[in-house]
Chains A and B, each alone.
Chain A
């Protein structure tokens, strides 16, 4: 069966520091991969999605970037975090034409 792993579960970072969040999927090949941010009262916002290695689509201009160095690995990065980057970050995967499945997220606090 397929599983998705996200780490870390919780992260506290100072303003201006870099960020790297990692997501890996097991048990499937060539999945679609997604990064979302969930802010209180604002629902789930799609940040990036990828249909293959090196193929990244950005949905919202922002301080973040994403990379897919391997088929089942998706990384969310920032060079310099802003206070507004605080939130709950969720990775998801899907097979073509199938619903998305989510990891348990990373709660990011910026101080």
Chain B
């Protein structure tokens, strides 16, 4: 079983839709969870950073962590064509700086 599983998509939605992106993981020691957005031919850009379980909201983006289910989500409200990118989840244990990444989900938001 891979440490982090992420559906690669592709996911195509109309502008204004609510988008849900998800990752599951197997290592219960993971405590820090991140979502990165990566545009084509660019480096990943940090979107959200959360610790342990719960929700975090930043503008149109909401990150959720359910440690009991080993499941994290990123919700995008009122999606825009500029949100079209690959979204990567990442996580690490406390006391470790080594990130484990999902393979990314490619999202296209159609005008």
Contacts and interface: CB of A to CB of B under 8 A. Distances in A.
Interface of A: 6, 32, 41-44, 46, 49, 51, 59, 90, 92, 94, 96, 99-105, 107
The A interface is mostly helix, strand or loop, or mixed, namely strand
Interface string B32-49: 101010000111111001
Contacts of B102: 43
Interface of B: 8, 32, 34, 36, 41-46, 49, 88, 90, 97-99, 101-104
A44 B42 contact: no
B46 A90 contact: no
Contacts, number: 45
A103 B98 contact: no
A49 B97 contact: yes
Contact of A41 (B8, B36, B90): B8
A104 B97 contact: no
A42 B14 CA distance: 28
B43 A104 contact: yes
B101 A44 contact: yes
A42 B2 CA distance: 12
Contacts of B104: 43
A40 B103 CA distance: 9
Given A41-B103, A44-B88, A104-B43, 14 more contacts: A43-B88, A43-B103, A44-B44, A44-B99, A46-B99, A94-B97, A99-B32, A99-B46, A100-B46, A102-B36, A102-B45, A103-B43, A104-B42, A107-B41
